[in-house]
Structure 1
Amino acid sequence: MERLSSIPAVQSRSRPRSPLAIALCVLIAAPMTAPAQEKPAPRELEQPVFARMLRSGDSAKPLLSLTEAGAKPLDTREAKLDLRIAFTTSKIWDPKGKKFDTVKLRSYQSPGTNPEVPFLAPTIVTSPGETVRIALDNQLPPQPDCHPADINVPHCFNSTNLHSHGLWVSPTGNSDNVLLTLRPGVKFEYEYNLPADHPAGTFWYHPHLHGSTALQVSSGMAGALLVRGERLPASDRTGDIDTLLRDPDGAAMHERLLIFQQVAYACRDSKGKIRTDDETGFWTCDENDVGEIEKYDDQFGFGVWQKSGRHTSINGTVLPTFDDLVAGRIERWRLLHAGVRDTVNLQFREMKAASASIEGLSGKALDNWVSKNCTGAPLKQFEVASDGLTHAKTIVKSENMLQPGYRSDALVVFPKAGRYCVLDAFAPASASITNAAEDRQLLGIADVTGDAKVADVEAYVTDALVASAHKRMPEGVRDSIVAGLRDHLRLDAFVPHKTITKSEVNGKGQTVVFDIKDKIVDGKKVGDIYLVDGKPYDPSAARDLILGQTEEWHLTSQRGGHPFHIHVNPFQIVSILDKNGKEVSVTGDLDKNGNVTDSQYANLQGTWKDTLFVKDGYNLYVRTRYERYIGEYVLHCHILDHEDQGMMQNVRVLVPDGKGGGISTTSHH
């Protein structure tokens, strides 16, 4: 019998299962029925479970290869995960009601799924050179006649597919092909062949079928995909940041994976209207209600998340407590915004001693509690990578503006023992998806123990990384790496891609314009039309690019802010100009007195990303290479309900024809 193995790459604290966990174990194994209300279980933050993947080298009956020492197990460098999609009935904590709401949502289920947090997919861990196979089994019920006349009207909520967000793999066949449709009852195996030079970093996976993406991701169908690397830098090549981020004893630096989700479930009255609280107007559920996500018109859209009163969850838990933190310990926090549309502005602030309990607080009452008790200066976050790609220089932040699809790898140190607020702080109007100042929200509380007291956190982190470099980096590059770290934590030896110079650009140039127009019928506005380059999504059309060329892209938006995301090939940021033509990719947005009003573009010049927020009226310039992979994929706005309603465009990378053009190897879909 074959042996299943998992990689215990992130340390987490195990604890006895609560009555809720036992009840949910039964739910996972048995037909899904609504559980009875129970006394709330402790809401300590759990680390996401790791996918139980069958690895070729772990088989009890492996293939054998002949060596001089005799027969040896043959590791074909493959790992397989079984991933089922089905409706799951479980519970989500409602802080204002001090109770769990029963919900029925589409979810991923796999061996090892945590029954306490079923609306969070398992974390896949892989490495460069490995092939990851995901056997997707769509067990959602059939939906006959789900295809509308307009493809940009949300539809077919039980059909799906899979996207490996950020992976540098082929977009065709059964690889990262988001143009496939997997209907209910269909089984399909995806195969991601990671090249040997794939960057090590934080990536993720989620559904990506046009018409149902937002609804499925908002239901919690998303998981982290970590690529771990062991390549040391050398004089002629860069290495993996993982080799530097080590504890004094040589073990991988203590890690913490935080997946932010915004599950917009709603309970409805007998007329189908969302049930709301008479006093606050927030969405609510009665004792016998079951929350669901089934509609776009009133569960997604401008300002809806704030009006709902729902809370951003971390690792599937609402308002968790972090209770295994140690003062003075440097940790690598892998932050992943797996929400659909609203900005998360992450801050850590020391809490006043003897603060009152937050139990039962929500809305204005909870915000007042935050104003009164979360008064400490924001802690520094040392971002070493974004979107899985290591920076040339660490970006020091006191707030971390995460847009949907963003990932941030940040080193975090709590300088002394105590309690800290984990906050989604106010996002400036210009920095947010909604173009309005978004409400501050408490995400959780961190309990920090230990006797250490760190006065200068930046010097403390620098000394630790310098010590690691002295101990572990190869002799030929050690001195230059140490000198770089001493120079404000430079990480040049670990950047996965070479800088794209202007002289390297040989393509014709590309322009992307996001826009939203009013949909007018009989002289009245009845909705919005979501556009890229003046057109809604057309699956029969594509932007043609040529393999081997290097392009500069110009990104802008004529209405609203939109996170631009393109599949397969990441891009390097060249310049970001505000509405007045001022460069803001170094300083961030400044007021007339030179004070930072929006920090999200600060220090981005020269960095690599795969998702980038495009402010209304700003002009962003990025460069990218088309290497190795041909085929058709997409670019789109990562506000996923915008994508579902037309803010997407197909892209084709063609084989060069030898005359400056390209040859298509596939027909349009």
Structure 2
Amino acid sequence: MDRNSQTSAVNAQRWPTPRARPLALACLLAAAPLTLCAQDDAPRELDQPVMARMLRSGDAKTPSLLLTKSGPQPLDTHEAILDLRITYTVSNIWNPQHNRFDKVKLRSYQSPGTDPSVPFVAPTIVTSPGETVRVRLDNALPPEQCGSSGINVPHCFNSTNLHSHGLWVSPTGNSDNVLLTLRPGVKFEYEYNLPADHPAGTFWYHPHLHGSTALQVSSGMAGALLVRGNRLPSAHRNGDLDTLLRDPGGTPYPERVLLFQQVAYACRGAPTPTDPLGKIKTDPATGAWVCNPDDVGGLEAYDQFGFTADGKNLWNVSGRYTSINGEVLPTFFGLVAGRAERWRLLHAGVRNTINLQLRAVRAGAASIEGLSGTALDGWVTQNCTGPLLPQFEVAADGLSHAQAIEKGENILQPGYRSDALVVFPQGGRYCVIDGAAPPGGSITNAAEDRQLLGLANVAAGSAPPVNDIRAYLTQNLITSAKYLMPEDIRAKVVADLSDRLRLNAFVPHKDITAGEVTGKQELVFDIDTKAVPLEYKVNGKSYDPNSARDLVLGNIEEWTLTSKVGAHPFHIHVNPFQVVSILNPQGVEVSVTGEPGDSQYANTQGTWKDTLFVKPNYKLFVRTRYERYIGEYVLHCHILDHEDQGMMQNVRMLVPDGKGGGIGNAHH
């Protein structure tokens, strides 16, 4: 079997062809006859994001030939090509407030094979270490006149670029270069050369042009980027977790990519001289955003992000729902009790925290049809009554843990990824919910409303109920390790798994010890709340494309991350970092046990990440190695409207003498 056929066969195991979609959530829970179910309720089964149709070397459409003495022979250059077009798309988004679809017109990615009925989620890119991924990006958005109010005023909403979030690749040229600007009408080919030692894991891609990032990402312009690995561990090197997460026969665990998005569309009234876009339509009683049946919602201004004049979080006020893979309130099918699955969770939203919880539905639960807001919260409180189902996180931000972390609450901040092993103990219906954010733990520093994200229908299967999920999962992994791991490492892997699900043989980076550290860096997020408009700052300054933090290739440094005002997810491009310590305002270490009512920092000590939530007046210490790549890139807050308004800083990685690095990128 050739390489492309192998890829297709493996993908078929993880992404089955879409089945005819069953009746929707409200119909499944209703006691009324099925004939009474609304037609619009029907098509919301949770499907996987469509797989990107990528041309690889040797495909009939991209023949690659090498001239030899015996004639032309195929040349496997380990390259994959994806065509990605950006344009306006008109489609529908389900609105539970009114039990109907809202018509919307949003910027979106289009690609061969994209499902036109679910356009606001990008196709999933699948690649492997050592492969070159070429993305032929076509900005087909209409021409625009950009404003000139300043670099940190949102602008140029039809201009764009592309970021491969979390990939360890070059930040310069036509690689992961977010300092490029692609105006409407421009076509450009990105080239991501993944090194042969690139970690396997869950990454993602999205636009990253300063000034338009939040608006484009919140329109649904984001997709999963999966790096699959087949490197077995040995006595001399660590391997890919993918090689363990299989049954004893070698079949990979079933996977689910769950891309969480917060599409902040709104419908507007007639334009006026003082408000050219028109005022957002709202419900007079609740303040929630409304769209009439003949309206077309959109996302064209930054008054759809942030807070109201009286300090309320606009996303919470809007009444919009977090979608999963482009669907609102979908139903999960294909689940079987007692079967371990790998859930790849990606927070591709702009600012609001997601607290993913799984609970069994109470027997005899009433229909949720017609419920929203506090009424839907009440339904969750009354009917999602089972104990929290444990999720065993084996990787964060695409990087495998040294030990599986058991979580009842999986708190995801914007930019986070979590690979979790999930086992449903018995058949039935389960709630998939965004639990109430812990006090002080959400980005808004206020508790979010509880919202139902969807329901999971779990078939009973033939096995008896699983009473101890940890023990069950441990035994399954040990059995697989005995069959699949090489002889020289097998006993160690089994011993590690027996010791609280340790995964030492699969961690992609070595720990950074205090003795290796060659320098220190400090980063402080801040918001000047007295300025009009607000000023968003890193180390006392708003973003300046002509200024940068100079770092030197080969150094190993410890960073201190703090925030004076508000909480912010810190993200840095290219090189990930290892969490060393997290101290609360009283100086108490919280990276091991977490805090009462807030579990998000628990068990983070020693983990590797590329995005980390910084709560106000906390001190977070992380260490990082500057490896392989020179050039200019960025660090920023991953509340993307904060980034667009100045909470970003350029980084210049210099050659080892610290005097230069061939940097010449221009932002605009």
Match of 1:510, as an amino acid? Q
**Superposed displacement of residue 604, structure 1:** 0.5
Q: Which of residues 505, 516, 539 is equivalent to 1:533?
A: 539
Partner of 1:411: 421
Match of 2:376, as an amino acid? L
Question: Aligned ranges for residues 81-480 of structure 1 at < 5 Å?
Answer: 81-144=82-145, 146-271=146-271, 272-301=278-307, 303-451=313-461, 452=463, 453-480=465-492
- Cα deviation per residue 1:501-536 (whole Å; 9 max; x = unaligned)? 1111112x100000001244xxxxx33110000000
User: In the aligned structure 2, how far is the partner of 1:568 from the partner of 1:303?
Assistant: 32
User: Structure 1 residues 66 and 9 mapped into 2: Cα distance closer, same or farther (>3 Å)?
Assistant: farther
Determine if the alignment matches structure 1 residue 663 to structure 2 residue 660: yes
Question: Aligned ranges for residues 15-94 of structure 1 at < 5 Å?
Answer: 15-16=19-20, 39-59=40-60, 62-65=63-66, 72-94=73-95
2:439/2:597 contact within 8 Å kept: no
Partner of 1:33: none
**Superposed displacement of residue 335, structure 1:** 0.1
**Superposed displacement of residue 74, structure 1:** 1.5
Partner of 2:302, secondary structure, is coil
Partner of 2:30: none
2:128/2:228 contact within 8 Å kept: yes
Q: Which of residues 18, 21, 40 is equivalent to 1:14?
A: 18
User: Structure 1 residues 134 and 639 mapped into 2: Cα distance closer, same or farther (>3 Å)?
Assistant: same
User: In the aligned structure 1, how far is the partner of 2:102 from the partner of 2:529?
Assistant: 36
User: Structure 1 residues 197 and 381 mapped into 2: Cα distance closer, same or farther (>3 Å)?
Assistant: same
User: Structure 1 residues 528 and 460 mapped into 2: Cα distance closer, same or farther (>3 Å)?
Assistant: same
User: In the aligned structure 1, how far is the partner of 2:16 from the partner of 2:298?
Assistant: 30
Match of 1:52, as an amino acid? R
Question: Aligned ranges for residues 492-641 of structure 1 at < 5 Å?
Answer: 492-507=504-519, 509-520=520-531, 526-589=532-595, 596-641=596-641
**Superposed displacement of residue 287, structure 1:** 1.2
User: In the aligned structure 1, how far is the partner of 2:320 from the partner of 2:64?
Assistant: 51
TM-score (norm 2): 0.92
Match of 1:338, as an amino acid? A
- Cα deviation per residue 1:48-84 (whole Å; 9 max; x = unaligned)? 0000000013236733447899864221000000000
**Superposed displacement of residue 497, structure 1:** 0.4
Further displaced range: 526-535 or 124-133: 526-535
User: In the aligned structure 1, how far is the partner of 2:244 from the partner of 2:551?
Assistant: 37
Partner of 1:458, secondary structure, is helix
User: In the aligned structure 2, how far is the partner of 1:39 from the partner of 1:460?
Assistant: 41
Match of 1:335, as an amino acid? L
- Cα deviation per residue 1:266-312 (whole Å; 9 max; x = unaligned)? 00122511111233321110011000001102444461100001000
User: In the aligned structure 2, how far is the partner of 1:61 from the partner of 1:169?
Assistant: 24
User: In the aligned structure 2, how far is the partner of 1:573 from the partner of 1:39?
Assistant: 47
Partner of 2:203, secondary structure, is strand
Further displaced range: 241-250 or 335-344: 241-250
User: Structure 1 residues 668 and 159 mapped into 2: Cα distance closer, same or farther (>3 Å)?
Assistant: closer
Further displaced range: 275-284 or 209-218: 275-284
User: In the aligned structure 2, how far is the partner of 1:64 from the partner of 1:108?
Assistant: 32
Partner of 2:655, secondary structure, is strand
User: In the aligned structure 2, how far is the partner of 1:650 from the partner of 1:464?
Assistant: 46
Q: Which of residues 471, 482, 489 is equivalent to 2:501?
A: 489
User: Structure 1 residues 467 and 243 mapped into 2: Cα distance closer, same or farther (>3 Å)?
Assistant: same
**Superposed displacement of residue 449, structure 1:** 0.8
Partner of 1:480, secondary structure, is helix
Partner of 1:34: none
Further displaced range: 69-78 or 188-197: 69-78
2:553/2:628 contact within 8 Å kept: yes
Partner of 1:31: none
Match of 2:555, as an amino acid? Q
User: In the aligned structure 1, how far is the partner of 2:653 from the partner of 2:165?
Assistant: 18
User: In the aligned structure 2, how far is the partner of 1:95 from the partner of 1:304?
Assistant: 18
1:539/1:668 contact within 8 Å kept: no
**Superposed displacement of residue 149, structure 1:** 3.1
1:564/1:612 contact within 8 Å kept: yes
User: Structure 1 residues 68 and 17 mapped into 2: Cα distance closer, same or farther (>3 Å)?
Assistant: farther
User: In the aligned structure 1, how far is the partner of 2:117 from the partner of 2:510?
Assistant: 43
Partner of 1:26: none
1:199/1:389 contact within 8 Å kept: yes
**Superposed displacement of residue 42, structure 1:** 2.4
User: In the aligned structure 2, how far is the partner of 1:395 from the partner of 1:81?
Assistant: 35
For structure 2, the 5+ residue unaligned runs are 25-37, 272-277
User: In the aligned structure 2, how far is the partner of 1:129 from the partner of 1:377?
Assistant: 43
RMSD: 2.0
1:247/1:254 contact within 8 Å kept: no
**Superposed displacement of residue 486, structure 1:** 0.3
2:558/2:621 contact within 8 Å kept: yes
Match of 1:407, as an amino acid? R
Partner of 2:494, secondary structure, is helix
User: In the aligned structure 1, how far is the partner of 2:357 from the partner of 2:69?
Assistant: 57
1:12/1:46 contact within 8 Å kept: no
1:541/1:668 contact within 8 Å kept: no
Partner of 1:27: none
2:23/2:43 contact within 8 Å kept: no
For structure 1, the 5+ residue unaligned runs are 21-36, 521-525, 590-595
Partner of 1:368, secondary structure, is helix
User: Structure 1 residues 623 and 380 mapped into 2: Cα distance closer, same or farther (>3 Å)?
Assistant: same
Match of 1:527, as an amino acid? P
**Superposed displacement of residue 448, structure 1:** 0.6
Further displaced range: 296-305 or 400-409: 296-305
- Cα deviation per residue 1:470-489 (whole Å; 9 max; x = unaligned)? 00101011001100000000
Match of 1:80, as an amino acid? I
User: Structure 1 residues 412 and 285 mapped into 2: Cα distance closer, same or farther (>3 Å)?
Assistant: same
Q: Percent identity?
A: 69
Partner of 2:33: none
Match of 2:505, as an amino acid? A
Partner of 1:647: 647
User: In the aligned structure 2, how far is the partner of 1:624 from the partner of 1:605?
Assistant: 14
User: In the aligned structure 1, how far is the partner of 2:61 from the partner of 2:23?
Assistant: 36
Partner of 2:349, secondary structure, is coil
2:414/2:569 contact within 8 Å kept: yes
**Superposed displacement of residue 18, structure 1:** 10
